Amino acid sequence: MTEATGQATQAVIAAKAASRELASATSDQRVAAIVAIADALIARSDEILAANALDLQAGEAAGLEPALIDRLTLTTERVEAMADGARTVAHLEDPVGLEVDRQVLENGLKLRKVTRPLGVVCVVYEARPNVTIDSAVLCLRSANACVLRGSTTAEHSNRVLATVASEAVAEAGLPAACVSLVQGGGRDELRELGTANGLVDLIIPRGGEGLKKALETVATVPVIYAAAGNCHVYVDASADLGMAERIVINAKVQRPGVCNAAESLLVHQSVAADFLPSALAALQAEGVELRCDGRAAALAGSGVTVVAATDEDFATEFLAPVISIAVVDSLDAAIEHINANGSGHSEAIVTADRTAANAFEDRVDAACIYVNASTRFTDGAVFGMGAEIGISTQKLHARGPIGLRELTTITYLVEGDGQIR
């Protein structure tokens, strides 16, 4: 075993022991630990910013792109935002011990189905150091021990943030190992965490397709992928075209680097000639590159530059001011295209036709389906879940935003007075 291997194993063993103690802690104790983290973030922000400066220095020396440098950067305001976020999570309803079902069986057995913590949740993430704190507090609120595995890019920042959190938890009277960070070791370490059956109850990878693929082939513990969003806006035959243009522009340009941004525009052939000239010009005016199929390209006005779209473009999450555009023959063709190319994240139809809306809702296979609204609303806070640890595009356990409730499991408690079968 390498040193890194030993470190990850030790971390999950300690986390498992801590998780048993955490499961017995009261909601108030967990809230106090989160508030202690928020206070410590403010009190120790100089230390945090100094560590972050080292990562930024290294990142600049390594020639990281400006967008990555921005994600990596912490400021006084961003540290305060982390603390505020922690306080918000502290005040969300306790997701543990909720009674979701209660029955008395014919034989007199009293059965209750109650929510419980998962145990040890491992979060694997990339550049943004605030994920360290966000993950730790969501796990603490749901009484899960958290093992964090950040990227080397944010090594110094993550180490200080995890230490601040872990020490604050210990000062609040809970085991320090409720929050721990493992770093280094690369893919071997990922394999080790992903095969820690009986110790790790869930791994949540937050990152690109590379991370997903790396885990998919090795993981034997349960995984929820907070994965890519190849989201579509479909403009139906009966759409209000002004509304459709506002929605597609918002979905594409308001924040192109996030998973609920639109990556593809589909237009019903009967409205393409009315809709596309104006929509293409408006998208281009917002600085969006237009990758069009033949029929869409033919409708671009003079002064609008389009690129011929490849099949690959329709399957790509650009996370950038780029959009793929196709004209489709029918609602059915749009649904088929989305089910073939989408990633099951967020899909929108713009239509004035209730039947078309129903068909789209019934037959599109995705976590979130929008009728006459932007895909950008897929978000745990927007959906009233308070906060989220990512957006799941898989169907098991959590689909859509992964909030506190999704970080729990259930147990059946069955009480009797001697019943036998």
Q: Does 202 bind a second copy (CB under 8 A)?
A: yes
Residue 54's alpha-carbon distances to 40, 60, 160, 164, 311, in angstroms, are 21, 10, 12, 17, 42
Closer to a second copy by CB, 119 or 207: give it: 119
Q: Does 103 bind a second copy (CB under 8 A)?
A: yes
Region 125-164 residues binding a second copy, contact defined as CB under 8 A: none
Number of Cβ within 10 Å of residue 293's Cβ equals: 20
User: Nearest 5°: phi and psi at 268?
Assistant: -65, 135
- Cα torsion 373, 82, 55, 124 to 10°: value is -60
Q: Does 314 bind a second copy (CB under 8 A)?
A: no
- Please state the closest distance from residue 415 (CB atom) to a second copy, in A: 4
Beta bridge partners of 391: 401
Q: Does 357 bind a second copy (CB under 8 A)?
A: yes
- Please state the closest distance from residue 421 (CB atom) to a second copy, in A: 4
State both tokens at 221.
Answer: 């513990």
Cα–Cα distance for residue pair 173/140, rounded to 1 Å: 13
Cα–Cα distance for residue pair 267/277, rounded to 1 Å: 12
Query: With 0-12 CB in 10 A as exposed, 13-18 as middle and 19+ as buried, what is 217?
Result: exposed
SS3 label, residue 143: coil
Q: Does 171 bind a second copy (CB under 8 A)?
A: no
State both tokens at 376.
Answer: 């950008």
Within 13 Å of residue 134, how many CA atoms lie on the same side as its CB?
Answer: 20
User: Nearest 5°: phi and psi at 180?
Assistant: -145, 160
Residues binding a second copy: what is the number (CB under 8 A)? 64
Burial readout 340-376 (b: 16 or more C-beta within 10 A, e: otherwise): ebbbbbbbbbbbeeeebbebbeeebebbbbbebebbb
Q: Does 258 bind a second copy (CB under 8 A)?
A: no
Stretch of residues binding a second copy (CB under 8 A), selected from 32-40, 184-192, 238-246, 325-333 = 238-246
Q: Which of 231, 378, 386, 389 binds a second copy (CB under 8 A)?
A: 378
- Cα torsion 116, 122, 123, 129 to 10°: value is 110
Number of Cβ within 10 Å of residue 30's Cβ equals: 25
Q: Which of 190, 368, 389, 402 binds a second copy (CB under 8 A)?
A: 368
Q: Does 240 bind a second copy (CB under 8 A)?
A: yes
Q: Does 250 bind a second copy (CB under 8 A)?
A: yes
Q: Does 187 bind a second copy (CB under 8 A)?
A: no
Closer to a second copy by CB, 52 or 408: give it: 408
- Please state the closest distance from residue 63 (CB atom) to a second copy, in A: 33
- Please state the closest distance from residue 250 (CB atom) to a second copy, in A: 4
State both tokens at 232.
Answer: 């579509």
Q: Does 10 bind a second copy (CB under 8 A)?
A: no
Closer to a second copy by CB, 273 or 413: give it: 413
Closer to a second copy by CB, 83 or 349: give it: 349
Query: Do the beta carbons of residue 137 and residue 86 sit within 8 Å?
Result: yes
Q: Does 228 bind a second copy (CB under 8 A)?
A: no
Q: Which of 3, 24, 63, 312 binds a second copy (CB under 8 A)?
A: 24
Q: Does 109 bind a second copy (CB under 8 A)?
A: yes
Q: Which of 90, 224, 226, 338 binds a second copy (CB under 8 A)?
A: 224
Place of tokens 């014919």: 106
Taking residues 48 to 87 in sequence order and writing x for each that binds a second copy by CB under 8 A, - otherwise, the string is ----------------------------------------
- Please state the closest distance from residue 280 (CB atom) to a second copy, in A: 19
Number of Cβ within 10 Å of residue 405's Cβ equals: 17
Closer to a second copy by CB, 282 or 410: give it: 410
Cα–Cα distance for residue pair 279/166, rounded to 1 Å: 51
Closer to a second copy by CB, 253 or 280: give it: 253
List of residues contacting a second copy (CB under 8 A): 20, 23-24, 103, 105, 109, 111, 118-119, 197, 201-202, 216-217, 220, 222, 224, 240, 243, 246-247, 250-251, 254, 339, 357, 361-363, 365-374, 376-378, 382-384, 394-397, 399-400, 409-421
